[in-house]
Amino acid sequence: MTAPEFIVPPPGLIPNAPDEPPAQTTEGVTGPTDRTVQAAPIRQLPSFTPLPTAPPSTTSPPPAPPAELTMPPAFRSPPPPVPAAAPTFDLIGADGVAIAISGTYVLGRNPVADHAHADARPIAVADPTKTVSKTHALIEVREGRVIVTDLHSTNGVAVQAGGGEVTVLDAGAPAEVEPGSVLRLGDLALTLRRTSGLTV
């Protein structure tokens, strides 16, 4: 039996194994290589001088004004209603002369307001028939209505509504008079007409 033939590689094709470094010994005992990681030496950081800072400003800028808040239209309250004009009335005599009334008045030939109606304004009326008392009637405009009171006159107060029946008022008892009615103080006839604050 013949020996196998081996192919010998040319020199330099396979590098030689590196030489194993000699093992370190500790106190005369041969042992494996000490592979403990050693701490790196502490390096000193370079020192530097901080830059000088500017002194704080003594005056600070004024704060910005707050932004104006706006309410969305859906959340806005509706504008208040415009008050209607206070109604006024006229008393028109047979001669066509109109007496404007809008508050409290006393009518007569020479009327004087008593202590119960101290705020009433006097209105003197022409009385060719001499049937109107000195202080004959009280006329008040209350919340768009005309109230008439006979102040215990001699010949009384009567109301004729719309050309119909004549109603004599009780002395001292207030009564409402509708526009278009005829107010009679004795024989004096005055037509009540509304002049402003008309409703549609």
Residue 130: CATH number of its domain: 2.60.200.20
Q: Would residue 185 count as lying in a domain?
A: yes
User: Residue 116: helix, strand or coil by DSSP?
Assistant: helix
Cα–Cα distance, 192 to 184 (Å, whole number): 11
Q: Would residue 140 count as lying in a domain?
A: yes
Q: Would residue 79 count as lying in a domain?
A: no
The count of domains in the chain is 1
Q: Where does residue 33 rank: exposed (0-12), middle (13-18), buried (19+ CB within 10 A)?
A: exposed
Q: How far is CA 101 from CA 77, 87, 123, 199, in A?
A: 37, 9, 10, 18
Q: Would residue 40 count as lying in a domain?
A: no
Q: Would residue 11 count as lying in a domain?
A: no
User: What integer is the mean pLDDT of 167-180?
Assistant: 93
The reported pTM is: 0.56
pLDDT for 139 equals 95
pLDDT for 173 equals 94
- What do you get for the CA distance between the two ends of the chain, in Å? 142
Percentage of the chain lying above the pLDDT 70 cut: 60
Would you say residue 32 has pLDDT above 60?
no
User: Which residue range forms the structural domain that includes residue 186?
Assistant: 103-194
Q: Would residue 130 count as lying in a domain?
A: yes
Q: Would residue 4 count as lying in a domain?
A: no
Cα–Cα distance, 186 to 131 (Å, whole number): 5
User: What integer is the mean pLDDT of 81-103?
Assistant: 83
Would you say residue 70 has pLDDT above 60?
yes
pLDDT band at 109 (very low <50, low <70, confident <90, very high): very high
